């Protein structure tokens, strides 16, 4: 039995990340970008629209192919790859929690290792006001406690980071059929479309972005 994506994605971004996990808005936005890229890639590979994708379409081989695509076709660094994988692993953990029948698939995805990155990027990440969760993901740490060994942020910087991290605004009554998943994700931070699959099934948007 296939599991549709819209409802779990909505719960993941509107409740699980900001409320249950308490992640900052910039971290939620980064997770959104990672999953949106995966959805676009999977839709193109499966020859279907993003709205037609099921959870089962996002299996381990698909995720591994996507990660390889990031580094080879898009020229992404190991840090960017890790950030995208962190979003996917977080979503997989959420899916397993929501539906135990998905445990085997989610477990295999969460077992995909992250690549090591240089710790000299730590200062740069701090200065760019990223929160501790995002720094941990970028550096490829499996445990956030490892990140604390490298991060030393004074109280003033912490105060500034908190001031700049408002809770994400999500419309709980957003319809799912019109517009589709990508349109809803795009509106989280008013970003633009990313993939051909979305344009093919949303001709009005294609004309607007041409």
The pLDDT value given to residue 195: 53
Q: Which residue has the higher pLDDT, 39 or 185?
A: 39
Mean pLDDT in residue range 137-146: 53
Q: Which residue has the higher pLDDT, 2 or 207?
A: 2
pLDDT at 156 > cutoff 60: no
Does any domain span residue 51?
Answer: yes
pLDDT in tens, 174-197: 444 445 788 888 877 554 444 554
Residue 201, SS3 per DSSP: coil
pLDDT at 136 > cutoff 50: yes
Determine what percent of the chain is predicted with pLDDT higher than 90. 42
Long-range CB contacts (< 8 A, 24+ apart) of 148-151? 150/119, 150/122, 151/122, 151/126
pLDDT at 103 > cutoff 70: yes
pTM of the model: 0.66
Does any domain span residue 1?
Answer: no
Q: Which residue has the higher pLDDT, 188 or 143?
A: 188
Which range of residues forms the domain containing residue 36? 6-209
Q: How far is 13 from 22, CA to CA, in rounded Å?
A: 11
Q: How far is 157 from 154, CA to CA, in rounded Å?
A: 6
Residue 4, SS3 per DSSP: strand
Take residue 162 and report the two structure tokens written for it.
């908190």
pLDDT at 126 > cutoff 50: no
Does any domain span residue 72?
Answer: yes
Count of domains for the chain: 1
43 burial type by CB count under 10 A (0-12 exposed, 13-18 middle, 19+ buried): buried
Tokens 């059929």: give the residue: 177
Mean pLDDT in residue range 197-203: 49
Per-residue pLDDT band at 42 (split at 50, 70, 90): very high
């Amino acid at each position: 039995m296939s599991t549709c994506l819209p409802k779990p994605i909505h719960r993941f971004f509107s409740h699980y990340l900001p409320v249950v996990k308490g992640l900052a808005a910039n971290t939620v936005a980064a997770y959104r970008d990672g999953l949106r890229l995966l959805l676009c890639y999977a839709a193109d590979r499966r020859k279907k629209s993003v709205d037609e994708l099921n959870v089962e379409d996002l299996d381990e081989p698909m995720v591994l192919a996507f990660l390889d695509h990031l580094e080879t076709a898009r020229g992404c660094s190991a840090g960017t790859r890790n950030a995208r994988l962190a979003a996917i692993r977080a979503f997989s953990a959420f899916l397993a929690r929501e539906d135990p029948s998905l445990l085997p698939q989610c477990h295999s995805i969460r077992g995909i290792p992250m690549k090591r990155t240089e710790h000299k990027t730590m200062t740069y990440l701090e200065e760019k006001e990223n929160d501790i969760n995002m720094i941990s993901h970028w550096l490829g740490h499996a445990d956030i406690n490892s990140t604390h060994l490298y991060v030393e942020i004074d109280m003033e910087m912490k105060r500034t980071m908190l001031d700049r991290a408002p809770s994400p605004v999500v419309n709980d009554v957003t319809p799912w059929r019109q517009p589709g998943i990508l349109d809803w994700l795009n509106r989280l931070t008013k970003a633009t479309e990313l993939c051909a699959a979305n344009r093919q099934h949303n001709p009005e948007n294609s004309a607007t972005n041409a």
